[in-house]
């Protein structure tokens, strides 16, 4: 039921994530439907933040096998240009620096011509073990396509 990736969420984004091992990035081909607009033809900033939060955080799945579930402690965004709805976009995420229980990750949303519309940096952390215990059943749905 995840809003970003959940296949069972009827109002979700249903995003699929792909690994680009050569670039060490998670890549998401995406067209944002107009139902997620803020202003006419422009994606809502909160939706863009949600997409970047999920994409950048998932980059950790490429570099760690332990604790696939990380949570965002801090997210900073820079909205550089309006991001259109109903337009093919590419979202990328990568790991900047990994520590044992936290990491710095980053991401951006790009137009077809490569123009970056939004940049994100985030600090993500491992949640407490008791929290992870409740999430274990969801692990099978957190796929990243190779």
Distance of CA 1 to the CA centre of its chain: 16
State yes or no: pLDDT of 130 exceeds 80: no
Segment 63-92, tens digit of pLDDT: 877 656 789 999 999 999 999 999 999 999
How many angstroms separate the CA atoms of 17 and 20, rounded?
10
Q: Give the domain extent around 84.
A: 18-128
Does 29 map to a domain?
yes
Tell me what pLDDT residue 47 has: 98
**6-24: pLDDT as tens digits:** 888 899 999 999 999 999 9
Q: How far is CA 120 from CA 7, 9, 57, in A?
A: 25, 25, 11
* 44, 4 Cβ separation under 8 angstroms: no
DSSP 21: T
CATH code at 49? 3.10.129.10
Indicate whether 136 belongs to any domain: no
The pTM of this model reads 0.89
Asked if residue 8 is part of any domain, the answer here is no
3 part of a folded domain: no
- The answer to whether residue 76 is domain-embedded is yes
In a domain, 115, yes or no: yes
Q: Is 83 a member of any domain? A: yes
- Greater pLDDT, 42 or 67: 42
- pLDDT at position 128: 80
Is 1 inside a domain boundary? no
Query: What is the chain's Cα-based Rg?
Result: 15
Extract the tokens encoding 142.
């957190």
Mean pLDDT of the residues in the chain:
90
Number of structural domains in the chain: 1
Would the pLDDT of 113 be above 80? yes
């Amino acid at each position: 039921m995840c809003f970003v990736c959940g296949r069972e969420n009827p109002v979700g984004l249903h995003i699929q994530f792909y690994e680009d091992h050569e670039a060490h990035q998670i890549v998401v081909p995406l067209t944002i439907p107009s139902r997620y607009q803020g202003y006419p033809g422009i994606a809502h900033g909160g939706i863009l933040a949600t997409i970047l939060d999920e994409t950048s955080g998932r980059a950790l799945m490429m570099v760690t096998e332990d604790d696939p579930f990380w949570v965002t402690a801090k997210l900073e965004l820079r909205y550089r240009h309006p991001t259109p709805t109903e337009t093919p976009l590419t979202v990328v995420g990568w790991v900047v620096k990994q520590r044992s229980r936290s990491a710095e990750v980053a991401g951006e949303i790009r137009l077809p011509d490569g123009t970056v519309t939004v940049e994100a940096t985030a600090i993500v952390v491992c949640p407490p073990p008791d929290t992870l215990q409740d999430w274990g059943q969801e692990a099978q749905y957190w796929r990243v396509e190779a």
